[in-house]
Structure 1
Amino acid sequence: MAQASYSVIDEHINFTISDTVKSPQDYGDNGFNFESFTTGINSEYSEIGVCFYRGKFITYSSRKIGALGKKDPRTNEPFTKLFCSDVTGDWNLDRPLLFSRILNKNESLGSLTFDKSGTTVFFTKGVEGNSGVMQLYRADMSPQKLGKWENITPLPFNSESYSVETPHLAPDGKTLYFSSNMPESKGGYDIYMVTLNEDGTYGPVQPVPGDINSEADEKFPHTSVDDKFMYFSSNGHGAIGGYDAYKSRRSPDGFKLVINLGNTINTKFDEIAFVPATKKDAYITSNREGALGGYDIYKITEFVKLNQVVAGKAMNFDTGEVLAGARIRLIDTEGYEVAETTSDANGAYTLPISSFEFYTVIAEIDGYQNGVTIFNSDNVTEKFQVDVSLKQD
């Protein structure tokens, strides 16, 4: 493992590897097949990737940039600053440039997120003179001068007694997710959400519903490109090492099916800040063995291992007789019909499915009440057997 000097980045992760950490091989790949590559921008300092902005990838780092490389008195390391890199066709990153002189003041900066228009930013900033406490701020781009951020204001739920950090704005721009160790937290740091009202005010802060928050720490929330999943990092949920990368499926009851992304991506060190670029490509930050600095940014690609299907039969509920010609519909979590077919002469059907979905199979045929069966998919089972029984009118 690269021996990184202590920095404010480490301070925000708050984890020390112990000799009791299990080997990643003890956990298996969990059905995932990721391959990791270096990005070309890592240095002797720590780099953490956070989001995309107008075709560029935004990172924060403790690397020294000329006269701006002043030291944080809390850590004796350079203040973490925001940088941006052009993204090449193969998802490599070009030389990082300072993102904004206005935002990059003499406080340590952390994760940030932008609205769809790119004119509003929510960012993390350290509290001067209060070691370890981070707060969230909002800024708007000046309509008169492109690139100038103004109206920098703290969010109303900040505190000097706990941290509020790692923000992520949902694709619809109406919900802000973040991590905090506020007193109401289930563990150390939990992931919270707040509604952004049209009049500029904020709704009540509440924990993300579902199974994401544990008795340990959860940070770096980030929704998938289709908004069906939330990726996050946690040192709970039976993590392989320090912080592991997880995904959780959105459902009507909140985020369910918390899944460890497996040992082709997670190590006995920290994997944080999973940032999806496409459905199969992403960036992740880790202090794993071989890192140039404390934390390095890696590009990752997932190779799909299975072509999954659901198959079964439509049958008479009372007699078990197979029903040919039944209309079979597959409904996803959001209530959309994603596939349809007709049962064959043996009452059988087969439909393609995706991993980590909550599905409803509906069978319909004249003279019978609709049959309904609910199931959820994983990413290790190639064929799910789901029969549907229908009662005769």
Structure 2
Amino acid sequence: MKTLSKYLLLAFVIVISSNAFSQRGKIQSVKNDYRNFAYVKTSEVLLEVANNGYKSADLFQKLANSFYFQNKMEEAAKWYGELMQLNEVIDPEYYFRYALALKGIKDYENSDKWMEKFNSLKPDDTRGKAFLSKVDYKSAIEEMSRDDIELVNLDINTPFSDFGTTEHENGIVFASARGGGRLYKWNEEPYLDLYKAEKNEDDTFEEPKSFGENVNTKFHESSAIFSPNGKYMFFTRNNFFRSKYKEDAVGINRLQLYRATLSEDSIWGSIHKIHFNSIDYSVAHPALNLTGTKLYFASDMPGTLGQSDIFVVDVNEDGTLGEPENLGSSINTEGQESFPFINSDGDLYFSSTGFPGLGGLDVFVSKGADQKVLNSANRNFPIENVSEPINSPYDDFGYYENLVTKRVYFSSNREGGKGSDDIYTFKFPEIKLIVEGEIKDIDTEEIIPGATVILLDENGKELDRQVVGEDGYFKFDVDPEKEYLIRVQKDKYTSDEQRFTTPNRNQELLMELRIEKDEQQIEPCDDLAKVLDIPIIYFDFDKSNIRYDAEIEIQKVLAVLNKYPTMHIDIRSHTDCRGPASYNEQLSDRRAKSTRAYLIEKGIAAERLTAKGYGESRLVNDCGCEPSNESECSEAEHQLNRRSEFIITSIDGKTCDDKVESED
């Protein structure tokens, strides 16, 4: 094995020599026989209340969730934002949902802030860890190791250094020291040139040939990359241009980037130095994104955090480059980061000594990094070690993959190779993943037929949908190593969703989704306070005027009365037993009538409302104030008696008496 110091040629140079699902129980139908009854849709009620200017954490949580689960991220972000402005203690999950909602409207900066808050409150949550690149690398490496990959050492490898592969037309271009000639004193091998090997139908290669008379010189060339239109090539070479060999003040010849242009007769020429090359630092190992608009490279230029860093620069239409930008501390470390590669999905692969790994240079990946760079969303890049068998205790670098053919190339000086550095290849095994499950009622555990199940990508884009049958069963084909959302929707039910990441190998993915009713059945004799989950409506001590927090709850009743103009209700106010009975009755009566007056003031016809106070005459428990048990009841038990009721006396011509008679 070569020592790492041999790879750091000339302070920083080319790294040369360097049963799937079992249905349970009988198929059951959910009893949804709601005909001839009216329903209250909670989300509509809450929206009306909120639009009237009322605020509470419970109100905004439920309202924002109703939009979030419908993938209406603009509205969800609005109401989650209102929730955050209350500055109340809430479940950290709302910070996570708010962050995702903000991403849905491309507000990446604020999304990142709320993800940071989420992570600070739930530091053990893997979503927060991934966002802040604080992954448990040891367990992550073990989890990602692949025993289904068979590495192949290419037949074209030699006893010399062969590395740094990129596909070009029907073949591969790579660097090799096989050419003979003068030796490079650091490793006693010939200087590197670029070679091309044509590929055969059986995935073997023809004998490599020198790539381009004008490209290769008597010094090092390596790491070629080609523009999507095929007109330009970027590559690495020593500071040797137009027969001039230049060294810095201490006698080091640095690496530089060059651009070559393909002529009409298919010859690479018109070679130019990149404008930010320097005699004082190295610039090397270029990689282009799918569209050819961004070029990634490694350098130790000023602003580098460690031995060498990954930088990015804009590529203009004429092949010229803008000004470099360091990718920052979530990619770059005090160690060496080099050999970047961007696949067609925008994932950034690179080699590093600065992150925990298996030894030497390890290959790492930051998923979706190019999209973040393109959108200038942030400079936070979660990192993953790609693990074995790509990484080893030796130096592993020069990763390249074709996501269409599933073909991967990388370079390593691991044991068992033919030379100091060899090129290895493999094809990812075909992975067929299915996520499947069933939909059930959260309360009854009964199967819910007819629900719509939607598969979405990590950004909320719909990929597929199914309507489940009588068995409530759904099934989707999914890709490996991707993040998905599964969402379930059904009329008269709230939505639910689960976020999951698929593995990189074949395995069962089972899921059960639970949903609860969003619409409540109402009929005569029902209490709207229970239907709408209205808690105690508090009044200030010894007063009957409507408090602000009580007004929010009464607004829910107002919304229902506006929706159902035939509904009549009886407002009933109750107290606990403490205090004189006659006083309690009078106070509760004033409060009931105050509530009625409020609703009339808001436009409800007076004949639709009756109101009466019952004081302590209708206790719901045994907490009377007789001397025998006055001290036995807790404050919570007394509180159960301090309640308000909104009894539906009639709706659509049906009265409470009609219901009682039919039941009798």
Fold-level similarity (TM above 0.5): yes
**2:298 counterpart of 1:179:** yes
Decide whether the 8 Å contact of 2:282 with 2:299 is kept in 1. yes
Decide whether the 8 Å contact of 1:37 with 1:298 is kept in 2. yes
Q: Secondary structure, in 3 states, of the residue corresponding to 1:12?
A: coil
**After the TM superposition, which of the residue ranges 330-339 and 351-360 deviates more from structure 2?**
330-339
Amino acid in structure 2 at the alignment position of 1:191:
I
TM-score normalised by L of structure 1: 0.81
* Selected match of 2:269 from 149, 152, 155: 149
Tell me the distance in 1 between the aligned counterparts of 2:169 and 2:447.
Answer: 55
Tell me the distance in 2 between the aligned counterparts of 1:155 and 1:119.
Answer: 16
Matched with 1:53 is 168
Amino acid in structure 2 at the alignment position of 1:283:
Y
Matched with 2:410 is 284
Amino acid in structure 2 at the alignment position of 1:177:
Y
Decide whether the 8 Å contact of 2:160 with 2:189 is kept in 1. no
Tell me the distance in 2 between the aligned counterparts of 1:15 and 1:77.
Answer: 9
Tell me the distance in 2 between the aligned counterparts of 1:387 and 1:183.
Answer: 53
More helix by share: 2
Decide whether the 8 Å contact of 2:141 with 2:386 is kept in 1. no
* Selected match of 1:271 from 396, 407, 427: 396
* Selected match of 1:114 from 226, 230, 249: 226
Cα 1:390–1:113 change in 2 (3 A) is farther
Percentage of matched positions with identical amino acids: 28
Tell me the distance in 2 between the aligned counterparts of 1:63 and 1:214.
Answer: 33
Tell me the distance in 2 between the aligned counterparts of 1:363 and 1:89.
Answer: 46
1:135 offset after TM fit, Å? Answer: 1.6
* Selected match of 1:137 from 258, 267, 281: 258
**2:132 counterpart of 1:12:** no
Amino acid in structure 2 at the alignment position of 1:87:
K
Decide whether the 8 Å contact of 1:5 with 1:294 is kept in 2. no
Matched with 2:483 is 358
Cα 1:209–1:348 change in 2 (3 A) is farther
**2:424 counterpart of 1:298:** yes
Decide whether the 8 Å contact of 1:141 with 1:148 is kept in 2. yes
1:335 offset after TM fit, Å? Answer: 5.3
* 1:1-393 mapped onto 2 (5 Å cutoff): 1=1, 12-13=14-15, 28=142, 30-32=144-146, 33-65=148-180, 69-72=181-184, 77-127=189-239, 128-130=246-248, 131=252, 133-143=254-264, 145-150=265-270, 152-198=271-317, 200-208=319-327, 211-224=330-343, 226-250=344-368, 253=372, 258-277=383-402, 278-304=404-430, 307-314=432-439, 323-333=448-458, 336-345=461-470, 347-368=472-493, 370-379=495-504, 382-383=508-509, 385=511, 387=513, 389=515, 392=518
Decide whether the 8 Å contact of 1:358 with 1:375 is kept in 2. yes
Tell me the distance in 1 between the aligned counterparts of 2:460 and 2:296.
Answer: 24
Amino acid in structure 2 at the alignment position of 1:52:
E
Tell me the distance in 1 between the aligned counterparts of 2:467 and 2:513.
Answer: 14
Cα 1:105–1:141 change in 2 (3 A) is same
Deviation string 1:266-291 (CA, Å, 9 cap, x unpaired) is 22111111222455322221111122
More strand by share: 1
Decide whether the 8 Å contact of 1:210 with 1:253 is kept in 2. no
Matched with 1:19 is none
Tell me the distance in 2 between the aligned counterparts of 1:319 and 1:211.
Answer: 47
**After the TM superposition, which of the residue ranges 91-100 and 366-375 deviates more from structure 2?**
366-375
Decide whether the 8 Å contact of 1:249 with 1:357 is kept in 2. no
Deviation string 1:112-139 (CA, Å, 9 cap, x unpaired) is 1001232201111122435363221112
Deviation string 1:298-347 (CA, Å, 9 cap, x unpaired) is 2223335x643334555667887764322222222465433322234454
Decide whether the 8 Å contact of 1:57 with 1:87 is kept in 2. yes
Amino acid in structure 2 at the alignment position of 1:37:
V
Tell me the distance in 2 between the aligned counterparts of 1:4 and 1:295.
Answer: 13
Deviation string 1:241-271 (CA, Å, 9 cap, x unpaired) is 2112333321765685533333223221111
1:228 offset after TM fit, Å? Answer: 4.7
Amino acid in structure 1 at the alignment position of 2:465:
E
Cα 1:307–1:148 change in 2 (3 A) is closer
1:104 offset after TM fit, Å? Answer: 0.8
Tell me the distance in 1 between the aligned counterparts of 2:516 and 2:278.
Answer: 57
Deviation string 1:170-218 (CA, Å, 9 cap, x unpaired) is 1211111212233433443332222213365534433448954444332
1:75 offset after TM fit, Å? Answer: 6.1
Cα 1:345–1:256 change in 2 (3 A) is farther
Amino acid in structure 2 at the alignment position of 1:120:
Y
| Backbone CA RMSD of aligned residues | 3.7
Cα 1:375–1:34 change in 2 (3 A) is same
TM-score normalised by L of structure 2: 0.51
Q: Secondary structure, in 3 states, of the residue corresponding to 1:387?
A: strand
**After the TM superposition, which of the residue ranges 366-375 and 104-113 deviates more from structure 2?**
366-375
Aligned length: 379
Tell me the distance in 2 between the aligned counterparts of 1:103 and 1:119.
Answer: 15
Cα 1:337–1:344 change in 2 (3 A) is same
1:101 offset after TM fit, Å? Answer: 1.5
1:48 offset after TM fit, Å? Answer: 0.8
Cα 1:189–1:313 change in 2 (3 A) is farther
Decide whether the 8 Å contact of 1:310 with 1:386 is kept in 2. no
Amino acid in structure 2 at the alignment position of 1:287:
N
Which segments of 5 or more consecutive residues in structure 2 lack a partner in the other structure? 19-137, 240-245, 374-379, 520-664
Cα 1:192–1:334 change in 2 (3 A) is farther
Q: Secondary structure, in 3 states, of the residue corresponding to 2:14?
A: helix
Structure possessing the higher radius of gyration over alpha carbons? 2
1:88 offset after TM fit, Å? Answer: 1.9
Tell me the distance in 2 between the aligned counterparts of 1:346 and 1:210.
Answer: 51
**After the TM superposition, which of the residue ranges 319-328 and 158-167 deviates more from structure 2?**
319-328
